[in-house]
Amino acid sequence: APSDPDLVARARAAKEALGERVFVLGHHYQRDEVIQFADVTGDSFKLAKDAAARPQAEYIVFCGVHFMAESADILTSDDQQVVLPDLAAGCSMADMATAEQVAECWDVLGEAGVADVTVPVSYMNSSADIKAFTGRHGGTICTSSNARRALDWAFENGEKVLFLPDQHLGRNTAVRDMGLSLEDCVVYNPHRPNGGLSTEELRAAKMILWRGHCSVHGRFSLDSVNDVRARMPGVNVLVHPECKHEVVAAADFVGSTEYIIKTLDAAPAGSKWAIGTELNLVRRLADRYAAEGKEIAFLDKTVCFCSTMNRIDLPHLVWALESLAAGTVVNRIRVDPETEKFAKLALERMLALP
Ligand code: 13P
Ligand code: SF4
């Protein structure tokens, strides 16, 4: 739907009034009505770097989800203020690993005698607490665009990896990109005693995958891939690595949101694509490339937005910008200094990956 012209004018006026004092970041899953006001758009890795590269901006308005705003706060200076236009914009996957559960898991690994040889690797989609745990225990953060490099690094520094919280990104990277077998991976279930794993299983595993997943990407199935191949002969299937292993194994291309865009940019006219990721992005890409004769379809027949990404809408953005322009900082995201110290260590290890 077209954006409300009154709200568009208000957002524009507030942004103009703030000038260089505000910098607006927009994740690729944001609504069109919001993304039009982003100074930069990107995947989570690019946005983390871009937030850190704006020391002159007093305010960073993060149009994305909570863990992204936290990471921006960790990576920016203390006098820069990060604002999330709607505090209800969380991530259900990040919520699947709490600090208490992860501390308990580390104890379980310790009792099995494997904690000393295990390196934690945490997906960006996790709370600052989990990032701090990761930093404290010698681990690194990764995103979907550098998971392979993060795992290579981790295996140079230990024998096993505890991968938090997305089992699919962990499994897909280890098996598809690094040649590990499915049997090298075990799943730690935080809701079962000892994670539901025996000491033998923990000792034999190379990848200990946390039992977390993305509910949006979890909707794609092998049937979605088979159906689209039957419906669109010659189609290229391009999916995000948060999809289940069987979907990723059946796809032609796999990568982050930024990778998806670059791949479609480089695709020849007349090519056909089925995309397995969030719908705001897929619709925008379908519109953008239609003029070039690239046919872009959604991988599934059901509507599939990320409901928390969609919490950030134009009214919330206008409210945040107008408040800042009037001198009131609303919805500031602030990580406490102790958590920040160790979370930053883990994030900096990611930024230093080759
Ligand atoms: P990207 O880093 O690929 O943009 O993914 C972020 C995300 O939340 C995907 O669900
Ligand atoms: Fe979290 Fe999935 Fe939404 Fe990404 S798409 S923010 S992983 S719930």
Instruction: Tell which residue, 158, 164, 83, has the closest CA to residue 116.
Output: 158
Q: Can you give the pLDDT of all 354 residues of the chain as single tens digits?
A: 678 999 999 999 999 999 999 999 999 999 999 999 999 999 999 999 999 898 889 999 999 999 999 999 999 999 999 999 999 999 999 999 999 999 999 999 999 999 999 999 999 999 999 999 999 999 999 999 999 999 999 999 999 999 999 999 999 999 999 999 999 999 999 999 999 999 999 999 999 999 999 999 999 999 999 999 999 999 999 999 999 999 999 999 999 999 999 999 999 999 999 999 999 999 999 999 999 999 999 999 887 899 999 999 999 999 999 999 999 999 999 999 999 999 999 999 999 999
Report the sign of the C-alpha dihedral through residues 155, 158, 161, 164, in that order. negative
Q: Mutation test of ligand 2: which of 166, 214, 303, 304 has the most ligand atoms closer than 8 Å to its C-beta?
A: 214
Bridge-based pairing of strands 59-63 and 40-42 is unpaired
Q: Are residues 110 and 200 in the same domain?
A: yes
Same domain, 14 and 86: yes
Count the residues in the chain: 354
- Could you tell me if the CB of 256 is within 6 A of ligand 1? yes
66 labelled binding-site residue: no
How far is ligand 2, taken at its centre, from the CA of residue 309, in Å? 7
Q: Which of 167, 192, 214 is the last residue of a domain?
A: 214
Q: Which two tokens stand for residue 89?
A: 């914009």
Is 123 annotated to bind a ligand? Reply is yes
- Are residues 222 and 159 part of one domain? no
Q: Can you tell me which atom of ligand 1 is nearest the CA of 45?
A: 2
CA of 13 to the centre of ligand 2 (A): 31
Task: Check if 11 has its Cβ closer than 6 Å to any atom of ligand 1.
Answer: no
> Would the annotation count 185 as a binding residue?
no
Asked if 36 and 57 sit in the same domain, the reply is yes
Q: How far apart are CA 131 and CA 56, in angstroms?
A: 26
91 in a known ligand binding site:
yes
From 214, 243, 274, the end of a domain falls on 214
Do 284 and 228 sit in the same domain of this protein? yes
Tell whether 14 and 84 lie within a shared domain. Answer: yes
Residue 354: burial class (beta carbons within 10 Å; 0-12, 13-18, 19+) = exposed
What pLDDT is stored for residue 304 in this prediction? 85
Give me the pLDDT at residue 351, please: 96
Q: Does residue 59 form part of some domain?
A: yes
Q: What is the pTM of this model?
A: 0.96
Which ligand has an atom closest to residue 215 CA? 2
Q: Which residues, including other chains, have CB under 8 Å from residue 84's CB and lie 6 or more apart?
A: 62, 64, 66, 69, 312, 331, 333
User: Which of the ligands is closest to the CA of residue 144?
Assistant: 1
182 in the same domain as 98: yes
Residues in Cβ contact with 319 at an 8 Å cutoff, skipping those fewer than 6 apart: 85, 330
How far apart are alpha carbons 102 and 85 in whole angstroms? 29
Closest CA to 62 of 79, 78, 80, 255: 80
Q: For residue 347, tell me if it sits in a domain.
A: no
Does the CB atom of residue 285 touch ligand 1 within 6 A? no
Ligand 2 mean position, distance from CA 67 (Å): 10
Is 27 a domain residue? yes
In short, whether 278's Cβ falls inside 6 Å of ligand 2 is: yes
Q: Is the CB of 214 under 6 A from ligand 1?
A: yes
- Do 202 and 103 share a structural domain? yes
Q: Residue 345 falls within a domain, yes or no?
A: no
Contacts 24+ apart (CB under 8 A), 98-105: 98/127, 98/129, 98/190, 99/127, 99/129, 99/130, 99/133, 101/190, 102/129, 102/130, 102/133, 102/164, 102/190, 102/210, 103/133, 104/190, 105/162, 105/188, 105/190, 105/195, 105/210
Cα(94) to ligand 1 centroid in Å equals: 12
Q: Is residue 187 part of a domain?
A: yes
Identify whether 156 is part of a domain. yes
> Is 144 touching ligand 1 by the criterion CB < 6 Å?
yes
Query: Any known ligand binding at 124?
Result: yes
Number of domains, the chain: 3
Cα–Cα distance measured from residue 273 to residue 296, given in angstroms and rounded to the nearest whole number: 5
Domain carrying residue 272? 217-298
Strand boundaries in the chain, DSSP class E: 22-27, 40-42, 59-63, 81-83, 118-123, 140-142, 160-164, 185-188, 207-210, 236-239, 253-254, 272-276, 295-298, 332-333
Domain closes at, from 214, 230, 251: 214
133 and 171 share a domain?
yes
Residue 148 and residue 206 in one domain: yes
Ligand 1 centroid – CA 114 distance (Å): 31
Residue 149 lies in a domain: yes
Whether residue 207 is found in the same domain as residue 129: yes
- Both 184 and 293 in one domain: the answer is no
Residue 346 lies in a domain: no
* CATH at 41: 3.40.50.10800
Q: Which atom of ligand 2 is nearest to the CA of 27?
A: 6
